[in-house]
């Protein structure tokens, strides 16, 4: 599982003027701040342009791997889906956009919602290096998910690594709003942690109450049987580049990104989900396809 070649080149371009040692220091500071829950002014974990570049260098490969893995699994079971439009919610640098166009090549209209002006500007710089006109011509909107906004419907709506950063009451309101903006499928992806899964589980219940039909990863629309002290997550293995290893000070040539996700549709498809999942489970799956992990005690 690797980033698209043109995205790798774009990331290398934006980091040209930031020394590797400084990137490593910024990565360390960002990680510590995030773990401690410390925010800067205006509820930001990333305060400067250089910090956003450092974040992209060390986190974008992993989040891309997780999103691509989830979308690829969705495509595997939702086989006759040919989306034309994508809404990327809480887009960051546009990671979900890059992953989605790698899975569904016919997407020709993309809208991204992001509140940080620096992140939008860097996302546009990355987009300009793409081979896809849909990415180059994507529409970036400066929108805070905590506020009100109105967006036309899109075939795919994705909120990746963004729902969990909001208050619980805001999460539910946003999910209902995103459901209104969905033509076909709504996808939520969060870190593969107990809290990340709790956000996914809550969203699952909310979307089912709105009449949604689950596409993946659950093979049913019934109540989730996983208890509150447990969680399910999946894994995507990504290779580390030399610069990635330097800024993260890692020794392994790869890392495993754990994530939880849910995909629902407005359509009650007639395919046999149980049979599809049985077929998938019977295959020998490499790390970059994704598989469920049970909590170890």
Tell me the pairing of strands 154-160 and 182-191.
parallel
pLDDT at 275: 45
Instruction: Write the pLDDT tens digit of every residue in 207-220.
Output: 999 999 999 999 88
User: Where are the chain's structural domains?
Assistant: 5-282
Instruction: Write the pLDDT tens digit of every residue in 248-273.
Output: 666 666 778 899 999 999 987 655 45
The residue that leads in pLDDT, 32 or 248, is 32
pLDDT at 249: 67
CATH of 5-282, one of 3.30.70.920, 3.30.565.10, 3.40.50.150, 3.40.50.2300: 3.40.50.150
pLDDT at 269: 63
**pLDDT over 90 at 101, yes or no:** yes
Q: Categorize the per-residue pLDDT at 283 as very low, low, confident or very high, splitting at 50, 70 and 90.
A: very low
Instruction: Write the pLDDT tens digit of every residue in 37-60.
Output: 665 555 666 878 999 999 999 889
Global pTM value: 0.87
When pLDDT is averaged across residues 71-76 and rounded to a whole number, the result is 95
3-state secondary structure string across the chain: CCCCHHHHHHHHHHCCCCCHHHHHHHHHHHHHHHHHCCCECCCECCCCHHHHHHHHHHHHHHHHHHHHHHHHHHHHHCCCCCCCEEEEECCCCCHHHHHHHHHCCCCCEEEEEECCHHHHHHHHHHHCCCCCHHHHCCEEEECCCCCCCCCCCEEEEEEECCHHHCCHHHHHHHHHHHHHCEEEEEEEEEECCHHHHHHHHHHHHHHHHCCCEEEECCCCCCCCCCCCCCCCEEEEEEECCHHHHHHHCCCCCEEEEEEEEEEEECCCCCCCHHHHHHHHHHCCCCCCCCCCECCCC
pLDDT at 68: 96
Instruction: Write the pLDDT tens digit of every residue in 194-208.
Output: 999 999 999 999 999
Instruction: Write the pLDDT tens digit of every residue in 118-151.
Output: 999 999 999 999 999 999 999 999 999 999 999 9
Q: Categorize the per-residue pLDDT at 240 as very low, low, confident or very high, splitting at 50, 70 and 90.
A: confident
């Amino acid at each position: 599982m690797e980033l698209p070649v043109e995205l790798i080149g774009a990331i290398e371009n934006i980091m040209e003027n930031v020394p590797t040692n400084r990137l490593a220091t910024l990565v360390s500071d960002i990680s510590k701040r995030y773990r401690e829950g410390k925010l800067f002014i205006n509820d930001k974990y990333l305060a400067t342009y250089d910090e956003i570049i450092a974040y992209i260098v060390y986190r974008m490969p992993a989040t891309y791997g997780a999103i691509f893995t989830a979308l690829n699994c969705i495509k595997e079971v939702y086989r006759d889906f040919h989306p034309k439009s994508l809404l990327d919610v809480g887009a960051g640098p546009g990671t979900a956009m890059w992953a989605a166009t790698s899975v569904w090549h016919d997407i020709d209209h993309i809208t991204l919602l992001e509140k940080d002006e620096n992140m939008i500007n860097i996302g546009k710089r990355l987009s300009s290096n793409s081979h896809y006109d849909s990415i180059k011509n994507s529409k970036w909107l400066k929108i805070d998910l905590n506020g009100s906004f109105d967006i036309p419907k899109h075939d795919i709506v994705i909120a990746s690594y963004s729902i969990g950063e909001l208050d619980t009451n805001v999460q539910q309101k946003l999910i209902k709003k995103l459901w209104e903006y969905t033509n076909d499928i709504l996808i939520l992806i969060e870190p593969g942690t107990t809290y990340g899964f709790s956000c996914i589980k809550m969203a699952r219940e909310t979307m089912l109450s709105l009449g949604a039909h689950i596409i993946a990863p659950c093979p049913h629309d019934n109540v989730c049987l996983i208890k509150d002290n447990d969680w399910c997550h999946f894994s995507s293995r990504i290779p580390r580049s030399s610069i990635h290893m330097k800024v993260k000070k890692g020794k392994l040539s790869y890392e495993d990104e754990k994530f939880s996700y849910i995909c629902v549709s407005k359509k009650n498809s007639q395919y046999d989900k149980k049979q599809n999942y049985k077929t998938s489970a019977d295959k020998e799956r490499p790390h970059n396809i994704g598989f469920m992990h049970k909590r170890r005690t």
